[in-house]
Amino acid sequence: MFIIPSTARSWVPVEPNSHFSIQNLPLGLLAPAGRNVTLATAIGEYAVDLTALREAGLLDISRVVDLDSFADFTQEDLSELRRKIYDIFVDSNPRLRDNEILRRGAMESLSEAKVLMPIKPTAFVDFYSGIHHASNVGKMFRPDMPPLLPNYRHIPVGYNGRASSVVVSGTPIRRPKGQTKGANDELPTFGPTKELDFELEMGFFVGRPSAMGETVPIKDAPEHILGYVLVNDWSARDVQRWEYVPLGPFLAKSFATSISPWVILPDALEPFRIGAIEQEPAPLPHLQTKKPLTYDIKLEVHLSTAKSTQPQMISTSNSKYLYWSFDQQLAHQASNGTPLGWGDLYASGTISGPLEGSFGSLLELTWKGTKPIQVDGAERTFLEDGDTLTMTGYCQGDGFRVGFGTVSGTILPS
């Protein structure tokens, strides 16, 4: 693990509120004009072509032949790559700083860069680890019962989603169709969802596979995590309400899941590791760990309508509100011997805080549509065509941030 000092600074201008400080150095896939797809990093307001740096002799990578994907990299490889990128961009190194021609060829504005899906997941699992979200849903739909079902505090509840509909930030989201049935309707009908929603989540990619029949001890779970992204697991609430009994989410969730393009390495998040919500009762032994369980990642949700002049922040939350940590989620997934695959994507479930302004879905923010919110003079209970939903997240350091950038999507008509 390579932890960049909090006092380190780059020769690249980096504003204090930039997500891409030298303490971050995320990795993504870039399609530079006139060049092949390449691994890239982001620093300040720039995306950086790592292949161009390698060809110029500034980036020595001996084991991996190509830099056109994450596929040949282990967690250890990426940690070493990040260390070498740091050496190039630290303020005391003049090699790229003083080479204007190479800078122009290797660095382009983030606002103009074409950043691609970092990893196309081979499998997608969505957990339900936000305890405040789970409690709110229970209060809404089971008012005469305890908010949490009996298993919630014993296992990280989850389901297998649809990997083929995971898309990168900026991909438009087509309003899905499905079966719905109102409380007083005799029969269901088929048509566009009327209750399209977002879900504020974090996600991680698996970077070390496991064999079928092999379990992953909780202490080894971090070694299997390649890096983290923001996740919006879009949801059609009216479709879900009709179809989820008895087997859970299906078409209401499988139409689209958006992720942010930059993969944040565990090394960058390590200085922001904190203790999690107290787990009571204590988890079973295979889910117990003495290591602090989560990160202090500040999360924001912004919504703009087709007529908005600027996005409006509608929610703020934090990854510390997860009841089950990323490590516990992964250890639980492998506890029955299911094989972990390189590139599998795991999402946390909706991360809501304890207060109304920290809820991670419109279902909660409008309390099942009974308390509309105002967005730039327009009323919203659920998402309408033309709306753009943007999520962002970052860790706050002393004068710098380690951020995820954004994940956004605009709703298109059915």
pLDDT for 340-388, tens place per residue? 999 999 999 999 999 999 999 999 999 999 999 999 989 999 999 999 9
Residue 320 pLDDT exceeds 90: yes
The per-residue pLDDT for 64 is 62
Q: For this structure, is 133 an active site residue? A: yes
Q: Where are the domains of the chain?
A: 27-116, 124-412
pLDDT given at position 249: 93
Q: Which two tokens stand for residue 255?
A: 């139409």
> Averaged over 307-332, what is the pLDDT?
96
Q: Indicate the pLDDT class of residue 63, thresholds 50, 70 and 90.
A: low
pLDDT of 48 > 90? The answer is yes
Tell me the mean pLDDT in the region 80-86: 97
Cis status of the peptide bond prior to 118, with omega within 30 of 0: no
Per-residue pLDDT band for 65 (boundaries 50, 70, 90) equals: low
CATH number of 27-116: 2.30.30.230
3-class SS string, the chain: CCCCCCCCCECCCCCCCCCECCCCCCEEEECCCCCCCEEEEEECCEEEEHHHHHHCCCCCCCCCCCCCCCCCCCHHHHHHHHHHHHHHHECCCHHHHCCHHHHHHHEEECCCCCEECCCCCCCEEEECCEHHHHHHHHHHHCCCCCCCCCCCCCCCCEEECCHHHEEECCCCEECCEEEECCCCCCCCEEEECCCEECCEEEEEEECCCCCCCCCCCHHHHHHHEEEEEEEECCEEHHHHHHHCCCCCCCHHHHCCEEECCCEECHHHHHHHEECCCCCCCCCCHHHCCCCCCEECCEEEEEEECCCCCCCEEEEEEEHHHECCCHHHHHHHHHCCCCCCCCCCEEECCCCCCCCHHHCCCHHHHCCCCCCCEEECCEEECCECCCCEEEEEEEEECCCCEEEEEEEEEEEECC
User: Mind listing the pLDDT tens digit for each residue in 115-132?
Assistant: 999 999 999 999 999 999
Please say whether the beta carbons of 304 and 376 come within 8 A.
yes
Of all residues in the chain, the percent with pLDDT exceeding 70 is: 99
User: pLDDT: is 289 or 239 the higher one?
Assistant: 239
CATH label, 124-412, candidates 3.40.1010.10, 3.30.465.10, 3.90.850.10, 3.40.50.150: 3.90.850.10
Q: Catalytic residue, from 133, 224, 302, 332: name it.
A: 133
188 has a pLDDT exceeding 90: yes
Give pLDDT, residue 61: 82
Output the pLDDT for position 62.
Answer: 67
- Write down the pLDDT at residue 292: 72
pTM above 0.85, yes or no: yes
Query: Residue 395 pLDDT > 90, yes or no?
Result: yes
Residue 72, pLDDT score: 85
Q: How confident is the prediction for the chain on average, in pLDDT?
A: 96
Q: What is the mean pLDDT of residues 135-158?
A: 96
Question: Model confidence at 273, in pLDDT bands (50, 70, 90)?
Answer: very high
